[in-house]
Every structure is written in structure tokens, then in C-alpha cells.
Amino acid sequence: MNAELARRVAAIGDVVGPEAAAASRELLAPLHETPPYHGVAVVRDAAYGPHERHRLDVFTPGGGRDLPVVVFVHGGGFVAGDKCAEGTPYHDNVGLWAARSGMVGVTMNYRLAPEHRWPSGAQDVGAAVAWLAAHAGEHGGDPARIVLMGSSAGATHVAGYAGTASPDPGVRAIVLLSGAYDLELFDPAILEPYFGSDREVLRSASPLAGLVDAGLPVLFAVAEHDPDISHRQAAALFDALFGRDGRVPPMAFLPGHNHFTEVLHLNAVDDVLGRQLVAFVEQHAGPVAAGSAAASAAA
Amino acid sequence: MNAELARRVAAIGDVVGPEAAAASRELLAPLHETPPYHGVAVVRDAAYGPHERHRLDVFTPGGGRDLPVVVFVHGGGFVAGDKCAEGTPYHDNVGLWAARSGMVGVTMNYRLAPEHRWPSGAQDVGAAVAWLAAHAGEHGGDPARIVLMGSSAGATHVAGYAGTASPDPGVRAIVLLSGAYDLELFDPAILEPYFGSDREVLRSASPLAGLVDAGLPVLFAVAEHDPDISHRQAAALFDALFGRDGRVPPMAFLPGHNHFTEVLHLNAVDDVLGRQLVAFVEQHAGPVAAGSAAASAAA
């Protein structure tokens, strides 16, 4: 990220809310590619379950076969968000980033609160994985090499799936971008629509302990301009994983980014996260397609 | 780092010692440039003090003026190491990395234990900074934009200088690569020649508390294949800085690297650390030279 862009992101503030989200989206929008997406096959709205939110999009680089699959689970405070917001580059940008990095990218919707409450989000992540186990091969992906990546509430769902269910053996690793893991340390107002406000439920629904027990490789990220509460969650995750392993866990500190640009910049701004993600995928889920931009850059 | 190189680094093991150091040096040596270094002016053995180890080398990109200055302080267990090991690319590689990234690179020697004990190393870092305050301009550097970067024992000296002295106001930030900060948690055998073995001395010589109080911006790194003891130090630094700020501190987790390749790969293997270092320097010490390779890559 260049200095001017860093200044503009910093000017938005270390805050999370509709205005900061909109400002972040607008700031980066001109830097993104627009459809049609050259060299990437996109399949829209595959149904991985019966609900209208049980839909996912698949991005496959031309000619790709048996590639690692990165599944992106969006944020939105448990009550909002979309895999593909009409007329914006988001979150096609994540699917495109994966495809242009030599992987299959999947962006998924899931059921939202307050109609659908805990653990529907984690269940939907599991249902999408089950769909991929049957169908990834049709889209150039290897169902035995899946990496789940969630942002914000999506990271909480990914962590919940990895920690409380028996994750599908095809899931090789997970990536958590600025999520909530220890719910008792998080903002109750954000959690209430999905988890309710019973402290005992918050304790048992916290994905942190299960995540640590599950032992799946975790890469987590926090942005310089994330709010304090996200930094606290990242520190809790750091401490829990260091406490388990006696080793510093793989993590990405993202200078210059905020809670939103952490995801929104993928496929637009050359930065440390994309490169670190590809290295993490290759380490745990095997090689990306040879000759992709990221594979070359990482060589 | 590509997969084959990652495999070879991993095969060395998560260990620190002469064999691991030699194997790491040999592994990366063929990837480095050799003299003469095109486009970089190198001044050797400038005397920043009276001792024969008070010598530093300066690497300036062609035509550079008023650039940020990165001062590299090597490791070697407090008893060994050199800014420039004859017939090897090390640590010219760090000076060259800085110059090719649009900065002035300085590699420095310092007095060694057991002849010279605590706090001679931190004092020598201060003497080199004082020399730069007077002479950086002659070499294209801006003495008001200095970043200190130490590796292993060198990181302990940098942390000691930053924390226990009144650092020169030209020092804008520090970078700590796999050092010892809380000496009571470190290996007494490694510390003994320089610090002695009195626990009260180890407590008062530990740079961690002073570093946290000093408030200089810190970027710290730990390598995936660092030994447990280095991970423990990184975690102690993480906890101390998080405890102070309530924010996750800037850090770099280096996948695929060990205690040695963390430094030895600079200027040879395109990787996440160099890019994160340039971003950190630009954030705290202002812009690097326009048109440098790193400035373009980071844009």
C-alpha cells in the first residue's frame, strides 16, 4: 500500500460501522478489476443447502485442475453482508484473488441473525464444505485441500466450525481475519442478535477453546487500524495458541489496513497479506497452480 | 521462499548453533549477488570509536540524498559475528538490501564478550548512532531518520540502547529480529559471557521494561523455525507491548525461515520481511528513494 492510500485509510479511523465500511469500499473500488473477468471461470449461486442464503460462487483459473480451494466467509456483524454485493467489487475480489493466485476461490453466503441464530453460521460453513467435498472437482478444486478463511463475523463462524464440529478431513487449515473468538471479551451488543446475551451461552459458544483443542493449523490476522476490541481478540488467540504450543502462532499484522480494507484490498493492492496467505496455503494444502502471478511472486 | 527452499531450511531444524548457522549460510549463498555491487557505493570500516571493533560499513544507492538510514547490528551470541565475513555475502546482504530498497544501509561491528561485557554492546550502538548524527549526510543519509535493526544478540543490544539510554532523537524506530529481551526467560549459558550469571544483574539488564517505557515504535520478528526460546522471547515482547497499548504490536511471523535465514535471505529471496520492513521504515522515518525496487513493489 502506498503512502497516500495509507493516509486515506488512517483518516477513516480505527472504527467499525456502516460509514467506515462504506468509506473503505469506496476508497478501494477504483483499484479493482471489473467484469468480465478475463481468464477466470465464475459459477454463480450454486445451492449448497435449502435456504436462499445457502448459495456460493466459485472462481476457477482457466484450465485449473485439482487446485487448493479457499472458501471465503464474509463479515457483517452476524446480521448482514453478502458474497457479492451488486455493483461493487466485493467480495468477488476475494474469489478473483484466489483464482489469480492459482487456487479455486469460493465465496459463500450463510443464514443471518436475528432469524437464524447460533450455531447456524458454523453449520452453514460445514454445509458448504460438504458441498465442496462432492463438487469441488467439477470446478477444478481438490476437495482434500480446502482452506477456510473468514473475516470478522465470518471468522467467528469459521472458528466455530473448526472448533465445535468434527471438521471435514479435507479442511487442511483455517485463516481468521479480525474475528471474535473469546465472546466474553467482545462487544455484547454485536453478539446479541446471533448469540443472545446469556453469559453462560456466550461462554459455551466461544470458539476459542474448541479451536485450540482441534489443532487445525491457524493463520490469523489483525489490522493496524482495527478497533481495540479486535486487537484484544487477536491477543487472546495469540495467548491461547502460544499457551498450547509454546511457539508464536502464524499471524499477519497488517500495517496501514483497517477492519474492512484487510479483505477489500485483496486482488487490488499488492500487499503482505496475499503473499502470506499463499505461503500458508502451500504449506498446509499443497502447491497452487504453477505460473500464477502469486506463485511466481512467492518463488 | 519457494517450497524446495522451505524444505531445505526446515531440514536444518529449529535449532541455533554453529552447524545450523553454517548450513543456513551455505544454503542461501548461491542466491546472493557478488561484488562489485552495481549502483551502490560502499564505504568500508569507518571508525565510530577507538576500539578495532568500532567499525561500520555504509551502503548508499547511487545519487541518494537525505535517505532513511537502517543500521544493522549482527548476532553471534554476544561473543562472535561480523558485519562482513570475508568471502561470504553476509552481512553485506543487509546493507545491499537497504540500498536497493531506497535507503542507506549501515552494518556495524561492536565489542564482544567475554572481554567486553554489558552494557558495551548497547553503548556501541549509541556510539554508532552518534557517528551517524555527524556523518550520515556525507553518505546520502538523513541523521534525523534512523532505524536500528538488530538480529539475535544484536537485537538485545538495540533493545538495550533504545530502553536504557536516552536514544538519539534521530532514531525513529527499531526492528528486533529474534533477540533476547527478558533475560530471566533466556538461556543462562548464552548470556553468561556478556551479562554474567547473577540473577539480579540479569533482571536489571533485561531490556524489556525499558524498551516498553521508552515508547519508540518497535517492529519485531520471529521465524517459524526459531528455537522455542526465541519464540518465548517474542511472546514476552508481544505481551508487554499489548499490555502497554491494548493493541497488537507490529510484528512479522516469518514462515519457512529459521533463526539465521531470517537475516541471511535479505536481498536474495523475495519475501514478506523486506516488504514489511520498508513499510515500517516509511511509516516512522519517512519515504525511501522513489524508483527503488522495494518502493515500486510496495506501491
pLDDT digit string, tens, across residues B58-117: 999 998 999 999 999 999 999 999 999 999 999 999 999 999 999 999 999 999 999 999
Closest approach of B246 to chain A, Cα-based (Å): 7
Residue B295 vs residues B102, B282, B284: alpha-carbon distances, Å: 7, 10, 15
Contact residues, chain A, for B250 at CB < 8 Å: 224, 253, 255
The residue written with cell numbers 559475528 in the block is B81
Per-residue confidence (pLDDT) for residue B10, from 0 to 100 = 96
Residue B188 vs residues A1, A165, A274, B114, B202: alpha-carbon distances, Å: 42, 44, 40, 14, 9
Per-residue confidence (pLDDT) for residue A291, from 0 to 100 = 64
Per-residue confidence (pLDDT) for residue B298, from 0 to 100 = 40
Per-residue confidence (pLDDT) for residue A166, from 0 to 100 = 85
Flag whether pLDDT at A297 surpasses 80: no
What is the overall mean pLDDT for chain B?
94
Confidence of residue A1 (pLDDT cuts 50, 70, 90): confident
Residue to mutate among B185, B241, B248, with most A CBs inside 10 A, is B248
Note the pTM of the prediction, 2 decimals. Answer: 0.93
- List of residues 6+ apart from A87 with CB closer than 8 A: none
Least confident span in A5-14, A55-64, B158-167: B158-167
Phi-psi region at B116: left, alpha or beta (left = phi > 0; alpha = psi -120 to 50): beta
Mean pLDDT of B24-42: 96
ω into residue A74 within 30 of 0, thus cis?
A: no
Instruction: Name the H helices within A117-271.
Output: 120-135, 153-164, 188-195, 199-205, 208-214, 228-245, 261-264
Contact residues, chain A, for B234 at CB < 8 Å: 248
Query: How far apart, in whole angstroms, are the C-alpha atoms of residue A55 and residue B180?
Result: 50
Instruction: Name the H helices within chain B.
Output: 3-12, 18-28, 92-100, 120-135, 153-164, 188-195, 199-205, 208-214, 228-245, 261-264, 272-285, 293-298
Flag whether pLDDT at B162 surpasses 60: yes
- The 8-class DSSP code of residue B258 comes to E
Query: pLDDT: is B299 or A29 the higher one?
Result: A29
Per-residue confidence (pLDDT) for residue B164, from 0 to 100 = 78
Mean pLDDT of B42-47: 98
- List of residues 6+ apart from B54 with CB closer than 8 A: B47, B48, B109, B110, B111, B124, B127, B128
Flag whether pLDDT at B183 surpasses 60: yes
Answer for the pair A73, A150: CB distance below 8 angstroms, yes or no.
yes
Nearest to B99 by CA among B138, B67, B60, B64: B60
- List of residues 6+ apart from B18 with CB closer than 8 A: none
Query: How far apart, in whole angstroms, are the C-alpha atoms of residue A258 and residue A12?
Result: 8
- A109: cell is 453466503
Q: Which residue of A has its CA nearest to B4?
A: A299
Residue A32 vs residues A4, A12, A273, A296: alpha-carbon distances, Å: 17, 20, 17, 21
Mean pLDDT of A268-294: 84
Mean pLDDT of A66-95: 97
Question: Per this entry, what is the length of chain B?
Answer: 299
Mean pLDDT of B137-146: 98
Name residue A297's amino acid.
Answer: A
Nearest to A130 by CA among A181, A166, A164: A166
Confidence of residue B299 (pLDDT cuts 50, 70, 90): very low
Q: pLDDT tens digits, residue range A106-151?
A: 999 999 999 999 999 999 999 999 999 999 999 999 999 999 999 9
Q: Give yes or no for A298 touching B (CB within 8 A).
A: yes
Per-residue confidence (pLDDT) for residue B79, from 0 to 100 = 98
Q: Give yes or no for A275 touching B (CB within 8 A).
A: yes
Q: Give yes or no for A115 touching B (CB within 8 A).
A: no
Nearest to B264 by CA among B75, B100, B68, B108: B75
Flag whether pLDDT at A298 surpasses 70: no
Residue A264 vs residues A93, A155, A176: alpha-carbon distances, Å: 7, 15, 15
Query: How far apart, in whole angstroms, are the C-alpha atoms of residue B225 and residue B228?
Result: 9
Nearest to B222 by CA among B214, B207, B234, B240: B234
Flag whether pLDDT at A299 surpasses 90: no
Contact A231 B248 (CB under 8 A): yes
The neighbour count for residue B286, using CB atoms within 10 Å, is: 15
Q: Which residue of A has its CA nearest to B279?
A: A255
Per-residue confidence (pLDDT) for residue B292, from 0 to 100 = 63
Could you tell me which residues are beta bridge partners of residue B47? B55
Residue B107 vs residues A191, B40, B46, B98, B149: alpha-carbon distances, Å: 51, 14, 10, 10, 10
Mean pLDDT of B15-44: 96
Mean pLDDT of B19-38: 96
Per-residue confidence (pLDDT) for residue A292, from 0 to 100 = 63
Answer for the pair A128, A108: CB distance below 8 angstroms, yes or no.
yes
